[in-house]
Amino acid sequence: MIKVKINPEKGNREHDLAHQFQITGFPTVFRIDEGEPRRIAIYSTMEDFSAAFDGRPTSNAIESGYSLLEHGKAAEAGNQFDRAMRSDPKNPELHVMKGVALYEQGHRVEAEYEFQAANHIKPQPAAYDYLANIALDKRQWSDALQYSNQLIALDPNYGHGHGYYLRALAYWDLGETYEAYNDADRACSMGHQEACTIRQKLRQAR
């Protein structure tokens, strides 16, 4: 059985749940599935509730999310991308942007989940970019190599050869300096300035 409640009274468990997640919009709409297990979806406005059931993406939320992210307000941006995903949960770009918002807040594990979710729907160059960076941060060189390979296979020209740059870093950390130099050289020739710096360092280390 499906129930819908709007602004339940204080003391009601739905009201307490909204308070727990700091959802204070008016009206706050609850869609309650009384099956097993019991599921509750919370919408902070009637617009969000309607959008979730007619399949329309909330374009204003997406635009707002991008703007907030550009202004360094990652947490607020993430909330907007969450709002948009309620009506378009299989949009891989939204998962990527949600991942970026989480990454900017330092939530690497949650960000990694969103990037993987995006790639599960449809492989995204930006998702592989961030996954490779997360792997490098975690000193997981083999994973970084794998993600950079997938990025190159998907779009070798992405970010002026950024995939080759990431792979050069992974190879370098693995001690494979010959391969690292070749990738840094290729990325540098494609206009990637950081790769040029890495190429110079590798050349001096020979």
The list of the chain residues with pLDDT below 70 reads 1-59
Reported as a single tens digit per residue, the pLDDT across 190-201 is 999 999 999 999
Domains of the chain from N-terminus onward: 1-54 (no CATH), 55-114 (1.25.40.10), 123-206 (1.25.40.10)
Q: Are 97 and 81 in contact (CB under 8 A)?
A: yes
Task: Write the secondary structure of 18-77 as one string of H (helix), E (strand) and C (coil).
Answer: HHHCCCCCCCCEEEEECCCCCEEEEECCHHHHHHHHHCCCCHHHHHHHHHHHHCCCHHHH
At 79-124, the pLDDT tens digits run 888 888 888 888 898 899 999 999 999 999 999 999 999 999 999 9
